[in-house]
Structure 1
């Protein structure tokens, strides 16, 4: 018999849980207002944190365009679609390097070799000991290595790869830590809102870092990309250290009403004292593997575009370094907007309209994975129509933002007490596309022809569709039996 129970049992259990949660909330602890609340303050500070995380992650994608010696024949400085609108680029004032396309692929993908190492340890440590300092110090270490990036590049490609691996190790704890944090801070019927606000920082970091990096390259040089964003990261660490606390019980400035509201809404879902981790149940949980497959599939497309979109914009569509950064950011602007809007809609459907969580999660995952696949393939057939290509790529990534309220939050639905650990597991598998995707894409696009990039887009779209289908069949929306908190013994 399945561990997960039948769909009818799940529907009955979820309806009971949602009714009980509403009834208990209304009877004992009315919902605390969002304005000026500690939980929404945490969402905003963590949003800033993920802004830093992604700004530090993507800045190399733009810098790489300016770091390469364009006179080398192997780099194909002439684009497939020369544009009359391109502007003259400023002469280099920093060093440039003779790295071929294969070396560039390894440099762009090296971050993820470190990133994959700290996913599960990060989730375990955050769940066991608290997320605040684990996340704070993880991002701080990434900031420090970002500031050292220009020096590493001067020393050689091997040193740059090593620094990027170390950055990945630091950033690897961030998402598992934040999921563990939200397990104690996010009331169940506000999860989509709070988490999408928090994680939209990733899109904002991409949206702002890409065009700003292009401007920095143009007016200064590529080294300043790392210095400027490194300083932004240091400011965040100071704010995080002063304003954030591991749980509502430890926050010195939270109102009693909000503390009671959060703790009451979570008392039947989250264990206050985490016992031995049920690794066997976790690793044999089909709903978890449904998230793993969906997360892996979505990230293949996401990371391929994240690392190589500036290269595609320059080498195929013929955009300058300034145009490149702005246009490469548009897809992530749309993604961030739809992620936040989708979070509001998802919680409305679950709370006011009383749709089952599993239905909402699957619907949002389908829209956020099938839609991007369709428009990504279409982008490969726009020929030398850069406007249409940018429109299709923007729609593709924008629709991907809808999945933020789908499989991405599902860890907290099926096992809130172990959400950090589950995220660590799924993100370990979902990091593989970041390691492999850019290398595969650059190996397939050595000549930067339209046909080569069409193949890259087909592969990404096909993987996305398979992931969406798997999650639709096996995804679930209720707390799994092995993750239900055990009742606390009565006190004498």
Structure 2
């Protein structure tokens, strides 16, 4: 049976690793509601109305919350490229596992500082610092996984294997209702303690049962190992040379490549819409929908689009693999179809839901949001799979570049929301925010259809050993000639 296959077990641990990863990333978004609520009956009250010393207490509070929410992404963007490169050299098992362990410790100590008597501004900057360090540790995670998937996934199973990344979305499915229940019956501090404990359990399983490649796995059967090695696009013979490759020349060649910029924009546009719903979704539901006053129900509703995304994403990955395996469609056109589904349908949903917020249509609003955003799960078999297609051997570094650029949106969304949504009870303000996200989605669908590349790019196998970084800067850094994929490396 397939659950006895080591590649399935590895994919499962990736899935749940990203689940707890997102627990630690998003727990503070819903905990902030009670942390800053003067009427909360459990746990310490964090008064942000004096943050920054402004005259408007509510604006001070909004500014403080925006700083706390956005801090994570400052650190998160910094370690994207190093994370992918470190995994290519030292292995995903160590890089992902160790960083998640330290992120767990930071989450566990976060509530402690709320018991210390300090002014609002000091508290915000302290938590701001903790969130930056959490971002630094979590920033390595997705890029480090791309090289692991490249080593473990047969080419015809790549869409299904990459669907394990939907564990991140499943993390929001679990976190919002779980935190809602915790906040209803316990102190908000337990939001951090419980998510930290769950992550620690996963951490133990990760170190016990994950290996960096089928060749290193002591539990895998010979038949499965030979099947993976013979059907993957990863070239193990290039691994030793890759470990000695200087980072700057590879990065510069990647940044100069137009096909890479298509996927970078994919990550940015996708991230913007994703964070509008994940980071700001609970506030929209609470302040706009009549049923949003129920904190437990608020958490359940907020997770519905993410659950839909997990389900549809898994289906899209399976169907894509089946159609490609039967040669019904080329890989690049399957990726373009998935990208269209992942961007156009959710864009339509975000526009529609902003007109369905009255009491008599609020359940229709939730249904539209849930169903349409679910199609964004196809993004894993769209531009994200395309990232691996461009550079199977150096996919960790490449994913670090694309995801690092993409997560600029995570830093921007809370700030853009604070600027546009000046009145959290104004549907017109929220509608403007949704229109911006929808516009980015439509733009990205068109860009990917017209410009995405099917070819493995030249930097995937280029030998950089003859040049140091300084020599490469002198000879190539200011040469902006357009590079094209080598024809010998077509997927």
Q: Mark yes or no: TM-score above 0.5.
A: yes
CA distance in 2, matches of 1:267, 1:300: 31
Write out per-residue CA displacement over residues 359-412 of structure 1, whole angstroms, 9 at most, x where no aligned residue.
011110011001111110111111323212211221232111111210011121
Write the mapping of 1:33-112 to structure 2, written as runs, cut at 5 A: 34-69=2-37, 91-99=41-49, 100-112=61-73
Q: How does 1:81-480 map to 2 (within 5 A)?
A: 91-99=41-49, 100-154=61-115, 156-196=123-163, 198-266=164-232, 269=235, 271-275=238-242, 276=245, 278-318=250-290, 319=292, 320-384=294-358, 385-448=361-424, 449-480=426-457
Structure 1's unaligned 5+ residue stretches are: 1-32, 72-89, 487-492
TM-score where L is the length of structure 2: 0.85
C-alpha deviation, 1:205, in angstroms: 0.9
Equivalent position SS for 2:437:
helix
Q: CA deviation at 1:68?
A: 1.8
Q: TM-score of the superposition, structure 1-length normalised? A: 0.85
C-alpha contact 1:146 1:230 (8 A) present in aligned 2: yes
- After superposition, the CA RMSD in angstroms is 1.7
Report Cα offsets for 1:24-64 as digits up to 9, x if no partner: xxxxxxxxx73411111100111110010011111111111
Deviations along 1:135-183, one digit per CA (max 9) or x if unpaired, are: 0011111111111111234551111111111111111011011101111
C-alpha separation between the residues in 1 aligned to 2:419 and 2:370? 25
Distance 1:394 1:274, change over 3 A: farther
Moved more, 203-212 or 94-103: 94-103
Are the equivalent residues in 2 in contact too, given 1:269–1:485 (CA < 8 A)? Answer: no
Number of the residue aligned with 1:24? none
Give the secondary-structure state (helix, strand or coil) at the position aligned to 1:272: helix
Q: 1: distance between equivalents of 2:282 and 2:447?
A: 31
- Alignment partner of 1:382: what SS? coil
Assess if the C-alpha contact under 8 Å between 2:150 and 2:234 holds in 1.
no
Whether the 8 Å CA contact 1:138–1:171 is kept in 2: the answer is yes
Q: Distance in 2 between matches of 1:151 and 1:322?
A: 25
What is the count of residue pairs matched by the alignment?
A: 435
Select the structure with the greater relative contact order (CA < 8 A; seq sep ≥ 6).
Answer: 1
Residue segments in structure 2 that go unaligned for 5+ positions in a row: 50-60, 117-122, 464-491
Q: Residue 453 of structure 2 aligns to a residue in which SS? A: coil
- CA distance in 2: counterparts of 1:456 and 1:223, whole angstroms: 31
Decide whether aligned partners of structure 1 residues 68 and 446 sit closer, same or farther in structure 2, where only a CA change above 3 A counts.
farther
